[in-house]
Amino acid sequence: MAASRPGHFTLRVFRGYLPAMSLLSPRLLSALLMVSVAFAGANAFAEPANMENAPPNFPYRDGDAVFVDFERADYHLVYDFAAKTVTVESEITFNAPVGGYPIFDLVPDPRDVRLDDRAADVAQVADPDDASYLRIVGTKVAPGAHRLTMAHSLATNVEFRPNGVASAFWMTDLTDRHYLEQYLPSNLQFNQYPKTMRIEITGAQGMPHLVRANGTIRNPSENVFEVKFPAYYSNASVFFHLTTVDAIPTTKFNYPSVDGRALPVEVYVVGNATLMAQYVANTKAALADLEKDYGPFPHPKVIVYGNGPGGMEYAGATVSSPYALGHELFHSYNARGVMPADGNSGWMDEAMSSWHDRHYALRTTPGAPTKMAGHSAYFRITDGDAYGKGTDFLAWIANRMDAEGKDFKGFLREYYRANMYHTDTTETLRRAMEIYSGLDLAKDFEVYVYGTLAAETTPKNSKWARASLATCGSFSEVEKDERAMENPFHPRLTAESLRKLL
């Protein structure tokens, strides 16, 4: 999504209401004030600058490698059934806030890269903290608008079968570079921008396919699909699953949302009718539970893919086991509705969803200290302490709020309303919690979240934290903390379990 530029405000309808304003960051509040002055009576505020949560630019060649603001990305995927190959052509328009060598990411090697219609080279480079890898275009750009095009071959989670193709963009937040950049050229998590995909399966006449995706889907002819994704999506939002039409049984229904919508729900399940019935019942129960506590489901539709262990969240979609559904669909509010801007912010949604799993139990003491939000600015995965110690921390804050007569679930409802469709950081949450509760949480965050201050005592973790296993994103658990570059051959079990989901 476009960043605000100097002297140029993009307006958007303010979805929250007055109390929700207290949950906004001081920066947003001042922006809101400025817009309110400029547009008296208008119920709108300045769109947050996507670039303010970008990691720092860093020296590269004779200048700087610079993070840029993607304006939009259009992808054309051709599945060649005879050749058993997938070729992707991509066009990205972006705005460079400052001059330098533009940064993006794509795990497969790009080819035919052109920047503003001139051939360009691309390097894969470790960031200055050696936390991850990035792609850097070897052509220096001036500040302003630019166009980047490239092609690449896609092979990850693609399977050519005798009767058609299966392909999906499975993601996990527990392994580095495992969001959209595994499959398509993308920006990092701080950036929101509209995306389209045109998908063609060639040479497969008479073998009709089906695309399930959390965007608007057109199917103009057999084996041709056009998907348009919302502008608020980041690189972690997209759900995409291509199969033959009848590969997996589906149940579709409309769920009566609390806001009056007939919310379209699609549940598709690998398993028998009993399992399907269980998924449908659990989906309805989870939606009722979440809408009661946190308001209308924040996405235009719901997709539940019932398969595999654990689960993973997408915007309005999930791959989930039956028992993880409540946890995963809660992520449509707290991870893929309000969206973490980077790896140091990823702990928040896992702590929130895991607190839901504990039936919102309160704690009189914090868990053990962590540095969940204390990693490098280039760190891109969720710290595994989020599930146990992070949840203990939130349950302790909730208990302190409770003592002041303030309800933490009520806080979360307002926080989601105020920040929905925007990225957030640990500081966004801390400030909002302080404003809501009146508590000074600076020191507690330093000890239990940032790991920058030693604890005076070390409280015990809860029994949940001691037994905690990641309930979602766990397909790739064995790969955790391993580096894709240093380990080009992923552990066999993990790759197999992902392919089994196709």
In terms of Cα–Cα distance, which of 373, 386, 367 is closest to 462? 367
To Zn ion, the closest distance from the beta carbon of 439 in angstroms equals: 26
To Zn ion, the closest distance from the beta carbon of 294 in angstroms equals: 15
Q: Where does this chain touch Zn ion (CB under 5 A) — which range of 30-38, 138-146, 217-225, 345-353?
A: 345-353
Name the DSSP letter for residue 450.
I
Give the residue with the Cβ less far from Zn ion, 127 or 350: 350
Structure tokens at 305: 């893919």
Residue in this structure with the two tokens 């695309």, named with its chain if needed = 211
To Zn ion, the closest distance from the beta carbon of 441 in angstroms equals: 23
Q: Where does this chain touch Zn ion (CB under 5 A) — which range of 178-186, 346-354, 412-420, 456-464?
A: 346-354
| x/- letters, 433..472, toward Zn ion (CB under 5 A) | ---------------------------------------x
To Zn ion, the closest distance from the beta carbon of 322 in angstroms equals: 15
Q: How far is CA 36 from CA 21, 98, 300, 417, 435, in A?
A: 13, 29, 29, 19, 21
To Zn ion, the closest distance from the beta carbon of 474 in angstroms equals: 9
Residue in this structure with the two tokens 């949840």, named with its chain if needed = 391
Determine phi and psi for 257, rounding to 5 degrees: -70, 155
To Zn ion, the closest distance from the beta carbon of 468 in angstroms equals: 11
Q: Where does this chain touch Zn ion (CB under 5 A) — which range of 197-205, 347-355, 362-370, 480-488?
A: 347-355
To Zn ion, the closest distance from the beta carbon of 270 in angstroms equals: 21
| Residue choice 57, 90, 353, 468 for contact with Zn ion (CB under 5 A) | 353
Q: Max alpha carbon distance in the chain (Å)?
A: 69
Give the interface size with Zn ion as a residue count (CB under 5 A).
3
C-beta nearest to Zn ion: residue: 472
Q: How far is CA 388 from CA 165, 237, 368, 441, in A?
A: 39, 24, 9, 20
| x/- letters, 472..491, toward Zn ion (CB under 5 A) | x-------------------
To Zn ion, the closest distance from the beta carbon of 293 in angstroms equals: 17
Asked whether 240 and 226 are in contact (CB, 8 A), the reply is no
Footprint of Zn ion on 80-109 (CB under 5 A): none
Structure tokens at 289: 């539970």
Contacts of 39 by beta carbon, 8 Å cutoff, 6+ apart = 11
In terms of Cα–Cα distance, which of 236, 235, 240 is closest to 104? 235
Give the residue with the Cβ less far from Zn ion, 27 or 358: 358
Cα separation, 361 vs 377, in Å, equals: 32
DSSP, collapsed to helix, strand or coil, labels residue 449 as helix
Give the residue with the Cβ less far from Zn ion, 53 or 468: 468
DSSP 100-162: BEEEEB-SSPPEEEEETTEE--EEEEE-TTSS-EEEEESS-B-SEEEEEEEEEE--TTEEEET
Give the residue with the Cβ less far from Zn ion, 350 or 383: 350
Give the residue with the Cβ less far from Zn ion, 361 or 469: 469
To Zn ion, the closest distance from the beta carbon of 300 in angstroms equals: 22
- The distance from CA 355 to its chain's CA centroid, rounded to whole angstroms, is 19
Element (H, E) at 166: strand 164-168
To Zn ion, the closest distance from the beta carbon of 472 in angstroms equals: 3
345: contact with Zn ion by CB under 5 A: no
Residue in this structure with the two tokens 């980047």, named with its chain if needed = 148
Give the residue with the Cβ less far from Zn ion, 350 or 414: 350
Give the residue with the Cβ less far from Zn ion, 182 or 334: 334
Q: Where does this chain touch Zn ion (CB under 5 A) — which range of 351-359, 396-404, 419-427, 474-482?
A: 351-359
Give the residue with the Cβ less far from Zn ion, 230 or 384: 384
Binding site for Zn ion (CB under 5 A): 350, 353, 472
